[in-house]
Amino acid sequence: MYPAGEKRFINVNRITIITLFLVIIAGGVVRSTGSGMGCPDWPKCFNRIIPPTDVSQLPQGYEEHYIEGRVKKNQRFAKIVDFFGYSDMADKLRHDKSILEHEEFNAAKTWTEYINRLVGVLAGFALLFSAIYSFIYIKSKPSIFVWSVLNVFFVIVQAWLGSIVVSTNLMPWIITVHMLLALFIVGVSIYTFYLATTLRNKTILVNYPSTGLKALAIVSLIITLVQVVYGTEVREIIDHLNADGIQRSQWIESIGVNYDIHRILGYVTLLVAVCFFFLVKSRFSKSSIQSQYAWIILILVVLQMLSGIILARFAVPAFAQTTHLVIASLFFGAQYYLMLLMTKLKR
């Protein structure tokens, strides 16, 4: 059905999407274990390609050296923030005393962060190969080529933002932007995969008007993104509570209104997902890809609710934090792809 070149791109693009979700999983593990500063420099780790496993292997005087580098990088970043009109935020970056602090060496945290970076490099190469193989679409479907190349640029920005996350000593709002950009990159890869697979296989598209269903899918996707934003803000507050020495059992009750909004949006997401599931099941056959993804979305939203309940009832265990983040990312990806599959077949 597909020429060899197109089939190669589709396969590489599929691998790229899987790898990007692995990056999100690795990032979730890093954050839930507090390993973000396991490597105080970037892109190397303690100025080594292979990170140390013992204190004796650390460079002499590394604390002062890396802190000096962080300060210089943050001064440059503050100028960029200032340029876009966020002078208060830029001023905070310039005078943030936490940047001058460093964590004690912990081999487990160092290697957790190092593995996260390795997975990120793997994803970068996967995106690069996707862009290279997308040249075959320059004439037949140029948008696939354009978005594939742009995604390489987006992942370079993401890597740079990752270095800023390290230099700012895990400043919360930058972590949130880092997460949202990761979802955007996943979305672009899913979109190019959709364009490539539907270029010659129109049978998976809708052959009758489905404006209402697609509109509901878009609304559901927007609600999910808003919930992700509030979820990352909740996580930022938890990071502050942890840094302030507040006991884990008191975190949920100390979060405030952001948690309430996040929880309410969770119930709204569940309701919309259930309604959408029954609407899809009533209009599509059981064997259709739309029905299959409706089931996937329903299962994911139920798992997401369960992980949220575990977080709330059992004092925010670390494994549930990672699970909650990963399921949310998979839920977003499945929702977005199903929304694309609601596109009406053009005669």
Q: CB–CB of 213/280 below 8 Å?
A: yes
Euclidean distance between CA atoms 270 and 54, whole angstroms? 47
Confidence category of residue 211, pLDDT binned at 50, 70, 90: low
Euclidean distance between CA atoms 173 and 227, whole angstroms? 16
pLDDT for 146: 96
The tens digit of pLDDT for each residue in 19-72 reads 999 998 988 888 778 777 778 777 788 888 888 888 888 877 777 777 777 777
pLDDT for 212: 80
- Dihedral sign (CA 265, 266, 272, 275): negative
Kindly tell me if the per-residue pLDDT of 176 is higher than 70: yes
Confidence category of residue 345, pLDDT binned at 50, 70, 90: low
Q: What angle do CA 219, 224, 226 make, to 5 degrees?
A: 95
**163-177, 207-221, 229-243, 330-344 — which one is most confidently predicted on average?**
330-344
120-to-18, 22, 97, 123, 328 alpha-carbon distances in Å: 12, 9, 29, 5, 19
Euclidean distance between CA atoms 333 and 260, whole angstroms? 25
Kindly tell me if the per-residue pLDDT of 347 is higher than 60: no
Q: CB–CB of 302/343 below 8 Å?
A: no
Euclidean distance between CA atoms 297 and 329, whole angstroms? 11
pLDDT for 241: 79
Q: What is the pTM of this model?
A: 0.86
The tens digit of pLDDT for each residue in 81-137 reads 777 676 777 777 777 766 666 677 888 888 998 998 899 899 999 999 999 999 999
pLDDT for 301: 94
Confidence category of residue 267, pLDDT binned at 50, 70, 90: very high
Confidence category of residue 297, pLDDT binned at 50, 70, 90: very high
Q: Which amino acid is at 171?
A: M
Beta bridge partners of 45: 48
